Structure 1
Amino acid sequence: MLSFINTFNLVIFVLFTVLYSYQIGYAGVALLKRKAKKHPAPKRLHRYAVVIAARNESNVIGQLIQSIRNQTYPSELVDVYVVADNCTDNTADVARMAGATVYERFNKRLVGKGYALDFIFKILETSHKDKGYEGYFVFDADNLLDEHYIEEMNKTFDQGYRVLTSYRNSKNYDTNWISAGYSLWFLRESKYLNNPRMMLHTSCAISGTGFLISSDIIREQNGWKYHLLTEDIEFSIDHVIQGETIGYCGGAMLYDEQPTTFEQSWNQRLRWSKGFYQVMRKYGVSLFRSIFHKDKHVFASYDMFMTIMPAVFVSLLSVVVNAGFLFLALFSLDSIPQMIPTTIWSICSLFINFYVFIYAFGLLTTITEWKNINCSAGKKIFYTFTFPIFMFTYVPIAVAALFRKVEWKPITHNVTKSIEEVR
């Protein structure tokens, strides 16, 4: 039994490493591959609409709109639209005063960002069709934009990409280990996932906010048809299956506010975990088939499949099996002196291996993105050690998501900084 559990844990670690070894390759590409030359001046300055779905965001939405108004991109080519979605505060009034066109939506049955996006896209594609929008930016109300954001995104959009995501930074990295955990993850996603994907000409993935989508796609799908709990990954996977290449613009920086309490973080990541299960159930078979379809994005399909499935299930299997052996050890009186310490050491070894693996990515991201992290040097170093702990908390969240009914819940945003204060 003892040799079995040691072998099992070794197999789990090797399996995890093999499945995600391509991400180590991504890191090598990001570090070693010569960066592409800067994009040439775009042939056209395209016309855009900015779409913001907001629910009780009066504290922060004004700062976002101001950062959009302060863009270096010609203001006459950018219009801002806000969906005040089931608001009970003065979000709509604040947004109007900041210069946005506001539509209020009240629907307690169809709740969630996906429904709000569908609502506004259909209005824009009918009532505002004469504006000739070529693309739609999607932001959350708590975001802030670097002043060159739209200018940089336009350069990449002009190359022919119909979907683009951007570099995601944080407004409140230095608040505590929870906000830092989120922030470090999104920095890693930008630098060591989407960046090398773009360099290798495979498909990226949008991540909740800070993306640009061609109006052609909105017309093709008659609005926004993604309404699972994680509509961003649902959109990404559906389009990878269809053969769409999602691009990435590292020169366009967005600042996002992260949760700071464990309760907020639990609720949000519970929704994400449940949403990943939903996406796997709806798209998993088609996505898996795409891996072996020569006319599809083979590598991108594998990448997305790894994104939504194995890590959580491999971790859950490991926890269950190790806990089971520990339970058996406690009730096997003849072997307690030998089994219990060996089983505990085996569990600790597995934990240490995963901790080191995750820590290495967090440390690498912190070192290479040091100048972009708005935080004291001491905290930057300290949060590399808490980053694996933050990631480990996904395990109980993933377990709870398997059994609990999860609904979309808004996260309260209170960081009322301007873009100048954030930087």
Structure 2
Amino acid sequence: MDALQCIGGLASALTIPGSLYLSALSLAAAWPANGAAGKSKRQPLKIVVLVPAHNESSGLLRTLQSLRADLSGDSGSQASTRIVVVADNCDDDTAALARDFGVTVLERFDAAQRGKGHALQYAFERIQNADWFIIIDADTDVEPGFLQAMRAHMGAEVDALQCRYGVRDPLSSQRASLGDVALGAWNVLRPRGRSALGLSAGILGNGFALSRRTLQHLPYSARSIVEDVEYHQMMVQAGLRVHWVDDAQVRGDMPEGRAQAAQQRARWEGGRLRLLREHAGPLMGALLRGQWRALDPLMDLCLLPLAWHLALLLLGLGLAGSLLQAVAVAGLVTLSLHVGLALLLIRAGRAHLRALLTVPGYLLWKLSLLASIWRNARPNAKWVRSARRQN
């Protein structure tokens, strides 16, 4: 066996756990989603919609208008639901814009502790009169009925919620359409599959909700540049579960321009790589002690982004020996079914299908990010906001 064949065989072998995990999640996600988790006896619930914002004056107004429109369309919740903007280390007019719109504003200034995790913790500690917090990014539209659907799932024994999270204006460009497909797999199919298997759906960073009881049991102390993934890892280890809300949807902006998209992608993938390095050992130890709930978060951290998974499968198909080539073929079939089901779940149109033709160029672009991803995997990596489109 020559060196190239060894590389191809290794590439195919590395995809086996991910392909098996994708198969399980895809099959589970094909079943109808669960209904509401159960209503609380406390009526009405006091809900705070938190909007963390760092220099978001260009797009915040659209987000607040989206939330207010949904709130006004659900008259039963108006008295018990309020919007709070957390203006975090802003040097623009984000806070003034939010106040002029008529919502509560918390301002935070701390140059040493920057990032969304710090902003959320600041708000959670200062807002006491709330049963639930719903977190919405400042570049997001909520679809009609969002608040009503989320509230319907806020059962007395429910720890946290996560809804569908897609791309705002997904037909505006091929990049946006391709991003919507990717989020359909990552942010719809996978958490839906986990929920069907009785697992914690996960936290996607936008459109999630935490109960006051959960925050009292497990304070929001996530500090990494992927604080949502980190906090979910902490939740699972503490025996808490995120319930999936399939009938609610948020849509967030894509980064503005190629450089900004590269910055966001490198930050996110580097942050997950860091968490894998830090959490894989403890999770493996928990599995060896018979704590099977550690299996899913370990598999989730080990699962590569679809582009890297596809790249390894193609490498195995082209270079590996016959046996591991068969593994690569099976993996490619699994991946195709996974993406196909995601397209169905997001009700994809022709623009989404055309965007899939750009995947080869996207793979080459991802290869160019390897060095940046590695830098963002360092423990001292800093959170930096990616530029968004101007509205």
Structures share a fold, TM > 0.5?
Answer: yes
Structure 2 partner of 1:277: 273
Alpha-carbon separation, structure 1, partners of 2:84 and 2:271: 27
Structure 1 partner of 2:78: 75
Query: Of residues 339, 342, 345 in structure 2, which corresponds to 1:362?
Result: 339
Provide the secondary structure at the position in 2 that maps to 1:74. helix
Provide the secondary structure at the position in 2 that maps to 1:183. helix
Alignment of 1:159-308 (within 5 A): 160-222=157-219, 224-294=220-290, 296=291, 298=292, 300-308=293-301
Alpha-carbon separation, structure 1, partners of 2:299 and 2:32: 27
Using CA pairs under 8 Å that are at least 6 residues apart, name the structure with larger relative contact order, 1 or 2: 2
Query: Of residues 112, 116, 119 in structure 1, which corresponds to 2:115?
Result: 112
Alpha-carbon separation, structure 2, partners of 1:161 and 1:77: 19
Asked if the contact 2:36–2:245 (Cα under 8 Å) also holds between the matched residues in 1, the reply is no
Q: Deviations over 1:272-328 (max 9, x none)?
A: 12211332233222222233444x4x2x5323222223537x969x98xx8xxxxxx
Which ranges of structure 2 fall in alignment gaps of 5 or more residues? none
TM value normalised by structure 1: 0.78
Asked if the contact 2:37–2:155 (Cα under 8 Å) also holds between the matched residues in 1, the reply is no
Provide the secondary structure at the position in 1 that maps to 2:205. coil
Displacement of 1:395 in angstroms is: 4.4
Displacement of 1:75 in angstroms is: 0.9
Distance 1:344 1:121, change over 3 A: closer
Identity of aligned residues (%): 19
Asked if the contact 2:256–2:388 (Cα under 8 Å) also holds between the matched residues in 1, the reply is no
Q: Deviations over 1:192-244 (max 9, x none)?
A: 2111211221111101111000112323345x311111100000111111221
Query: Of residues 95, 98, 116 in structure 1, which corresponds to 2:98?
Result: 95
Alpha-carbon separation, structure 1, partners of 2:281 and 2:196: 28
Letter in 2 for 1:271: R
Letter in 1 for 2:340: L
How many residues align structurally? 373
Asked if the contact 1:207–1:232 (Cα under 8 Å) also holds between the matched residues in 2, the reply is yes
Alpha-carbon separation, structure 2, partners of 1:395 and 1:233: 23
Asked if the contact 2:174–2:351 (Cα under 8 Å) also holds between the matched residues in 1, the reply is no
Letter in 1 for 2:382: E
TM value normalised by structure 2: 0.84
Displacement of 1:92 in angstroms is: 0.9
Query: Of residues 364, 387, 391 in structure 2, which corresponds to 1:412?
Result: 387
RMSD: 3.1
Structure 2 partner of 1:51: 50
Structure 2 partner of 1:85: 88
Structure 2 partner of 1:379: 351
Provide the secondary structure at the position in 2 that maps to 1:251. strand
Which stretch of structure 1 is more off in the superposition, 134-143 or 86-95?
Answer: 86-95
Asked if the contact 1:237–1:304 (Cα under 8 Å) also holds between the matched residues in 2, the reply is yes
Displacement of 1:403 in angstroms is: 4.1
Asked if the contact 1:42–1:154 (Cα under 8 Å) also holds between the matched residues in 2, the reply is no
Asked if the contact 1:177–1:387 (Cα under 8 Å) also holds between the matched residues in 2, the reply is no
Which stretch of structure 1 is more off in the superposition, 64-73 or 252-261?
Answer: 64-73
